[in-house]
Structure 1
Amino acid sequence: MPLPVRTRADACPGVLAPHDAADGALARVRLPGGLVTAAQLRVLASCAEDLGDGAAHLTSRGNLQLRGLDRDDPRLVSRLVDAGLVPAPSHERVRNVLASPLSGLHGGLADVRGLASAFDEGLCARPGLASLPGRILFALDDGRGDVAAEEPDLCWVATGPSEGFLQVAGVATDVSASRQDAPELLLTAAEVFLTLRAADEVQAWRVRELADAPGRIAAALDEDHDLGGGSDVPGRAGSPDRDHAAPAGPIGERALGVAPVLGELSAGQLRALADTGDPAIVTPWRTIVLPSPAPGARDALRARGLVVDPDHPALGVSACAGRPGCAKAHADVRADARALIELGVTTTAHVVGCERRCGAPHGPHTDVVARPDGRYAIDGTPVPDLFTALARTQP
């Protein structure tokens, strides 16, 4: 496959550089490792309520978005900076780092808790890394292969409690580092990426857009390199299973998995999460993990309309913004997706308003795309009625 030719810098939105959507400005709030405190959840709730559309929206990179904003209103930036959610304005858009959300709680080979924060501090302390593209994605995988499956550009994958290797654009290298040195390895690899990008004189938005990126980055880090790239690399098989994806309901001995319907959290639900667990971990699968939920948290969150049961039909359905939030959408896909949930459809489906397929999960799923005539195509085949067609797929 030919490498894409970029003619401009990427324009991923942030807090300081929001995106103008059909329903107002959209601001993306980065949460390295998905970690967010109860105090920060309450600030986000007030921002959504006072300044936006009343909700926060989870993203496929473990971040949050606020929609329906006035880009000229200075209160959003002020509140988020005060809450510690924008610690380095110059690096705001490049703070994209995943960490296995169940690490130290249930499963995995190594405990990667704290590594995302250490990486973020190191990232923000290096002025040169502010020039990274906003699309770049880092990950710290505890060996279970969950975040390695999310197509990160640069990923440290544990092979035991205290050791691991570098994965570049999905390819394993023999460049290794200890658990405590993993953040430094990723930061150095990011600097190598920028050096190679400049040498190639290209505007690559992702590491894989550089020619032979795994080999060249590995060579720069370790002259005696030998690419692995075999099928046994964690995460290369594709979709993480339900244990990896932090399912709804009890997890391990104490943690609780919570899923907002279609990844949307009302201001009231944000406050309910703040009241029942501190901190919370936002996952790349639009779920939330409460490592230490308060007594009665599951019932309290269920009463707030959040999914806390592993067999709920909402867990299999996701959607893009659709109308009226996106001018390119051909349908109100979120309303249709909610109708599918009410119908009890158990097929894993992603419903989108156009061929761009924004927010699509990386794993296997039914592809539901709105057409210009307002009808849908399922896995490329136009259907006269979405609900009837998907109902027929039920086991």
Structure 2
Amino acid sequence: MLAAMPPTPPPTPEPGEVRIRDRGDACPGALRLHPADDGRLARLRLPAGRLTARQVEVLARAAESLGDGRISITSRGNAELRGLGEGCGAELAELLAGAGLLPSPTHERVRNIVASPGAGLDGLGCADVQLWARELDAALCAEPRAASLSGRFLFVLDDGRGDVAGLGGDVSLVAGLDGSALLRPGSPGAPPRPKAPGAPGVFRLAADDAVRAALATALAFLDAAEAAGNGAWRPHELPDEHVPDWAGALARAGIAAEPVPVPPLPAARPPAPGPLGDHALHVLAPLGRLTAAQLRALADGADELRLTPWRGAVVVGARADRLPELETYGLVTRPDLPSVGVSACTGRPGCAKSLADVRTDAALVHRGGLPVHFSGCERRCGHPHGTWVDVLATGDDAYLVDGAPTPRTSLPEAVTTARSLPAHTR
């Protein structure tokens, strides 16, 4: 029997053209399982990627007893279970709810919150935005209207170091040294559109108001989307004449916010694998996927785990002497290991749209200066933000490397050459 196929997305509109959405987004969740070639898929939203030791054990047990024994980490620091059976939805929901991983069944798909994973651990940030993430999650779940947000709507909380500010948030907050925060509504890096009067800007406000401001901004988007009637999932899909009244929304929420010129986004490279301060470690999952045993090893003796948008985990409460042990589990613990910076979508056999087993092929190459991402089809699921080497499958043994036709056997050399050429930006 052929696996069910997800709806084919409409073509990407040209610059200046408004996208019409005639259906809700089809993003999987913990309760809405997605059919794939390797079974059902569940996506668990984990605000700021945070997992307690108990939640780690429940997640590992669910992967082993209901799925394929692995946990995938997404580019938003969420977790996916694959290979789930047809009738396991109720059992999975019960397991997750019992571990506190489903605080609101109506809001479970809208809890997309990325926060600087090193916040509060290494002294580099201006505020502990991990605390903001917990507060924002509670505020979202308590607001009935927030359940109408798309499963793709993203909140980004950067502690000022610039590690996550450029991840394309629909509502972004950047902490400042002076107890302030910059609120940036909209979607930085979205496809260019003609600038509209009153287009989204940036607001400076007190850090104590940051979470309330983020929620008010998201609700202002919902107001504008309802008025526009085009089914927009994210702010950049709104027509020019329906730009949300961001300033008015903040004022109505009682938040003092000063419009300021749009500054460049702060930018910093993700931390290298290894120690993160004196009491935390940053470890990467090979190609973004952990076995249940690897997940348990990471959590052993830790205060908590924080899954990261770089498809790894920050182990809070662990010292550098644990790194050799974690490396024996096949985890990436050093920046000189060849798999650092190489990522891939699911590919064959898990995805019916994929033209190749990209995960096997990705293991052939080593990353240099730029990230490298393997995609099984033109959707490029899970690609990095910013600039990267784009490796796109066009058949079983054929790829495009930054647009250049490349046989599978030549991938290592082609990826090395591509590092010195203009790379893919989306």
TM normalised by structure 2 equals: 0.85
1:103 aligns with 2:103: no
Q: Identify if the C-alpha distance between structure 1 residues 390 and 262 changes in structure 2 by more than 3 Å, giving closer, same or farther.
A: same
Alignment of 1:1-395 (within 5 A): 1=15, 2-73=17-88, 74-106=90-122, 107-170=124-187, 173-212=201-240, 216-222=245-251, 228=260, 230=262, 232-235=263-266, 240-242=267-269, 245-293=270-318, 296-341=321-366, 348-372=371-395, 374-384=397-407, 385-392=410-417
> What stretches of structure 1 of length at least 5 have no aligned partner?
none
- Amino acid across the alignment from 1:233: P
- Amino acid across the alignment from 2:233: W
Q: Identify if the C-alpha distance between structure 1 residues 373 and 312 changes in structure 2 by more than 3 Å, giving closer, same or farther.
A: closer
Post-superposition CA distance 1:219-246 (Å, at most 9, x none)? 432499876454x3324xxxx433xx23
> What stretches of structure 2 of length at least 5 have no aligned partner?
1-14, 189-199, 421-426
Q: Shift of the alpha carbon at 1:80?
A: 0.7
Q: Identify if the C-alpha distance between structure 1 residues 266 and 325 changes in structure 2 by more than 3 Å, giving closer, same or farther.
A: same
- Amino acid across the alignment from 1:383: T
Looking at structure 2, the residues matched to 393 and 181 of structure 1 have their Cα atoms a distance apart, in angstroms, of 45
Equivalent pairs, count: 386
Moved more, 247-256 or 80-89: 247-256
Looking at structure 2, the residues matched to 292 and 246 of structure 1 have their Cα atoms a distance apart, in angstroms, of 17
TM normalised by structure 1 equals: 0.91
Q: Identify if the C-alpha distance between structure 1 residues 162 and 227 changes in structure 2 by more than 3 Å, giving closer, same or farther.
A: closer
Q: Shift of the alpha carbon at 1:124?
A: 0.5
Give yes or no for contact 1:173–1:218 (8 Å, CA) kept in 2. no
Give yes or no for contact 1:94–1:133 (8 Å, CA) kept in 2. yes
Q: Shift of the alpha carbon at 1:174?
A: 4.6
Q: Identify if the C-alpha distance between structure 1 residues 127 and 220 changes in structure 2 by more than 3 Å, giving closer, same or farther.
A: closer
Q: Shift of the alpha carbon at 1:345?
A: 6.2
- Amino acid across the alignment from 1:52: G
Q: Shift of the alpha carbon at 1:127?
A: 1.1
Give yes or no for contact 2:389–2:419 (8 Å, CA) kept in 1. no
Give yes or no for contact 2:205–2:258 (8 Å, CA) kept in 1. no
Give yes or no for contact 2:345–2:375 (8 Å, CA) kept in 1. yes
Q: Shift of the alpha carbon at 1:394?
A: 7.5
Q: Identify if the C-alpha distance between structure 1 residues 304 and 122 changes in structure 2 by more than 3 Å, giving closer, same or farther.
A: same
Give yes or no for contact 2:19–2:237 (8 Å, CA) kept in 1. yes
- Amino acid across the alignment from 2:391: V
SS of residue matched to 2:225: helix
Q: Identify if the C-alpha distance between structure 1 residues 176 and 299 changes in structure 2 by more than 3 Å, giving closer, same or farther.
A: same
Q: Identify if the C-alpha distance between structure 1 residues 255 and 207 changes in structure 2 by more than 3 Å, giving closer, same or farther.
A: same
Post-superposition CA distance 1:312-339 (Å, at most 9, x none)? 2211200000000000101000001112
Give yes or no for contact 2:35–2:41 (8 Å, CA) kept in 1. yes
SS of residue matched to 1:204: coil
Looking at structure 2, the residues matched to 254 and 185 of structure 1 have their Cα atoms a distance apart, in angstroms, of 32
SS of residue matched to 1:318: strand
Q: Shift of the alpha carbon at 1:201?
A: 1.2
Partner of 2:3: none
Looking at structure 1, the residues matched to 132 and 370 of structure 2 have their Cα atoms a distance apart, in angstroms, of 35
Q: Shift of the alpha carbon at 1:380?
A: 0.8
Give yes or no for contact 2:187–2:235 (8 Å, CA) kept in 1. no
- Amino acid across the alignment from 2:35: D
Post-superposition CA distance 1:77-110 (Å, at most 9, x none)? 1111111111100001000011111111221222
Partner of 2:192: none
Looking at structure 2, the residues matched to 347 and 115 of structure 1 have their Cα atoms a distance apart, in angstroms, of 31
Give yes or no for contact 1:111–1:161 (8 Å, CA) kept in 2. no
Looking at structure 2, the residues matched to 228 and 179 of structure 1 have their Cα atoms a distance apart, in angstroms, of 16
Identity of aligned residues (%): 45
Give yes or no for contact 1:263–1:286 (8 Å, CA) kept in 2. yes
Looking at structure 2, the residues matched to 393 and 175 of structure 1 have their Cα atoms a distance apart, in angstroms, of 39
CA-based RMSD of the aligned residues comes to 2.2
Looking at structure 1, the residues matched to 237 and 57 of structure 2 have their Cα atoms a distance apart, in angstroms, of 39
Q: Shift of the alpha carbon at 1:113?
A: 2.7
